[in-house]
Amino acid sequence: MVKPLAVTMGDPAGIGGELSIDAWHSAARHALPPFAVLDDPDRLRAIGEAIGRPAPIRPIAGIDEAAELFPAALPVVPVPLPGPVAPGRPDPHAAAAVLDSIRLAVRLTLGGRAAAVVTNPIAKQVLYSVGFRFPGHTEYLAALTAEGTGRPAPVPVMMIAGPSLRVVPLTIHIPYSAVPSALTPHHVVERARIVAAALCRDFGIDRPRLVLAGLNPHAGEGGTIGTEEQSLLAPAVAALQAEGIDIRGPVPADTLFHAAARKRYDAALCPTHDQALIPAKTLDFDQGVNVTLGLPFIRTSPDHGTAFGIAGQGVARPDSLIAAIRLAGALAARRAEVPVA
């Protein structure tokens, strides 16, 4: 039996609903795997009518029904909202449903009923109003994994994967002033191991080639512009190379992303959030996918936010969600062939 993907609601004031509808409309054209949306069926019907692209919404009692229904209708596992949410106007009253959708997607996937989790964008400031304590999806998914498995939370690693580039920010939503203290050799080694293993297992790269960007301009230029490369990053690279992982660096970040340089590695690890995401979004903005590595299940997401400013207008491009669904299906299929130990 084909297992469908579980696509979450995202913030209902954002563009997630219209992207899900557009992805279903283009599923055959893009050869997408079947998916079910964990959302409010009435909301999705209203969105489809409002943007002029109605879809046959089919509420289902269980996600197991989704694959058979998918070609003719958009299957929806109902996650009711407490009331209407206006496009572009985030509402804290909807926060509980947003989190319910994510929790349900993880539970279904950990339980083997869904093939992967695909998350629509959330607005963290809205969720904070109901006690959400995580910096973002990535850390929340790790906590839900621990809750669902009874094991310690895994180390989640964010990768942005696109047709031109794969990048991993080694620190995410922290101030730049906090980055040097976060970049211990252990921190770098732990995440590089996860990246190398995921590239091999999920992306089918037998011997992944990694590169580590420097933190400072010109990778510190021999310690004259900063010493983190010598004290933190170089020891991590040496330790990883001793384990047999193909990694080089630290190298200057400003020469790491031109076309010729990108041919020399399979993923670039970057000390800071923007070092990684600026080139990724410049090169592959509409095709970039946020992939969480290190989890016992596949999770992908569009590499953009809620776009409140254009929500409900029918102009949001679904390319990144389509890419996220396609990649989730491919990674889940490969992981089914080579199960996680």
Looking at the structure, do residues 185 and 255 belong to the same domain, yes or no?
yes
Instruction: Indicate the pTM of the whole model.
Output: 0.94
Instruction: Give the whole-angstrom CA distance, residue 240 versus residue 234.
Output: 10
My answer on whether 281 and 300 are in the same domain is: no
pLDDT at position 335 is 87
For 149, the domain range is: 1-155+296-341
Q: Are 75 and 69 in contact (CB under 8 A)?
A: yes
Is the pLDDT at 341 greater than 70? The verdict is no
Q: Give residue 81's pLDDT.
A: 97
The mean per-residue pLDDT over the stretch 32-53 comes to 97
Same domain (yes/no): 163, 142: no
Average of pLDDT values for 42-58? 96
| Dihedral, 84, 88, 93, 94 alpha carbons, nearest 10 | 80
**Does residue 286 carry a pLDDT above 90?**
no
Is 227 in the same domain as 120?
no
What is the C-alpha to C-alpha distance for residues 124 and 132, in angstroms, rounded to an integer?
8
Q: Within this chain, do residues 161 and 150 fall inside the same structural domain, yes or no?
A: no
Residue 111 has pLDDT above 60, yes or no: yes
Pair (169, 264) in one structural domain: yes
| % of the chain residues with pLDDT over 70 | 99
pLDDT grade, residue 113 (50/70/90)?
very high
Asked if residue 340 has pLDDT above 80, the reply is no
pLDDT at 98: 97
Other beta carbons less than 10 A from residue 106's beta carbon: 25
| 136 and 277 together in one domain | no
Average pLDDT rounded to a whole number, residues 97-117:
97
Contact (CB, 8 A) for 216 and 225: yes
Instruction: Quote the CA–CA distance of 165 and 154 in Å, as a whole number.
Output: 25
224 and 326 co-located in one domain: no
116 shares its domain with 198: no
Domain count for the chain: 2
Average pLDDT over all residues of the chain? 95
Residue 97, CA distances (Å) to 81, 146, 266 in order: 6, 21, 38
Do residue 315 and residue 238 come from a single domain?
A: no
pLDDT for the residue numbered 232: 96
Question: What are the pLDDT digits (tens) for 236-259?
Answer: 999 999 999 999 999 999 999 999
Name residues whose C-beta falls within 8 Å of residue 163's C-beta, 6 or more positions apart in sequence. 284, 287
Question: 76 with 60: CB under 8 angstroms?
Answer: yes
Q: Range with the lowest mean pLDDT among 28-37, 49-58, 259-268, 332-341?
A: 332-341
| 145 in the same domain as 15 | yes
Q: What are phi and psi of 251, to 5 degrees?
A: -120, 155
126 shares its domain with 226: no
Asked which of 294, 309, 330 is the last residue of a domain, the reply is 294
Is the pLDDT score of 176 beyond 70? yes
Angle at 180 between CA 276 and CA 143, to 5 degrees: 70
Q: Residue 226's CB: how many other CB atoms inside 10 A?
A: 17
Six-digit token pair at 299?
Answer: 């999770």
Ranges of H-type helices in the chain = 16-25, 41-50, 66-69, 95-110, 124-128, 137-149, 179-182, 185-201, 228, 234-242, 259-262, 273-284, 319-337
In the Cβ-directed half-sphere of 142, how many Cα atoms lie within 13 Å?
A: 16
Please write the tens of the pLDDT for every residue from 186-245: 999 999 999 999 999 999 999 999 999 999 999 999 999 999 999 999 999 999 999 999
Residue 268 maps to which CATH number? 3.40.718.10
Among residues 294, 312, 332, the one where a domain terminates is: 294
What percentage of the chain has pLDDT greater than the value 90?
91
Confidence of residue 336 (pLDDT cuts 50, 70, 90): confident
Cα–Cα distance, 24 to 69 (Å, whole number): 12
